[in-house]
């Protein structure tokens, strides 16, 4: 139920610029050591909510990434939330994904060959040479 309620509430967070979003979803204190069974349960619950036909759920990588990051970090898992862009013909595409221990986490395919990382939460994990203005909203570039 907690996952479902947060998923509905995340709609408001998606309107914030990345710096504001980070200030809300980044835990205030360092998380403890997670139990892997708890992590699996959280991911399972998130998957169930996203697979449901609930009309208030905004599906997509941005919503899922923010929800996973928020809940997994509070459970104690060290992950980062990455944002990337790519140009496909005349259009830009955006993607959001989790990273853990330097590798994509909970992704079917590695997004790094396709997307240039432009922002990460926490900012300390932003790759050098790829800064983005954190006051811009992601929806402006996706």
pLDDT digits (tens, 9 = 90+) for 35-77: 899 999 999 988 888 887 777 667 788 888 998 999 999 888 9
pTM for this one?
0.79
d(CA 16, CA 11): 10
Phi, psi dihedrals of residue 37, rounded to the nearest 5°: -65, -35
pLDDT digits (tens, 9 = 90+) for 91-104: 888 999 999 998 99
> Token pair for residue 23?
């200030």
Please give the average per-residue pLDDT across 7-24, as a whole number. 78
CB contact set of 132 (below 8 Å; sequence gap of 6+): 18, 83, 118, 119
């Amino acid at each position: 139920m907690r996952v479902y309620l947060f998923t509905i509430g995340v709609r408001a967070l998606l309107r914030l610029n990345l710096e504001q979003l980070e200030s809300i979803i980044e835990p205030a204190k360092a998380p403890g050591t997670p139990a892997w069974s708890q992590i699996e349960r959280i991911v399972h619950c998130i998957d169930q909510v996203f697979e449901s036909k609930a009309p208030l759920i905004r599906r997509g990588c941005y919503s899922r990434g923010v929800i996973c990051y928020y809940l997994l970090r509070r459970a104690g898992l060290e992950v980062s939330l990455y944002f990337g862009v790519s140009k496909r013909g005349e259009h830009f595409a955006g993607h959001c994904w989790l990273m853990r221990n330097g590798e994509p986490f909970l992704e079917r395919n590695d997004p790094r060959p396709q997307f240039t990382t432009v922002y990460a939460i926490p900012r300390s994990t932003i790759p050098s040479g790829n800064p983005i203005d954190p006051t811009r909203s992601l929806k402006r570039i996706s």
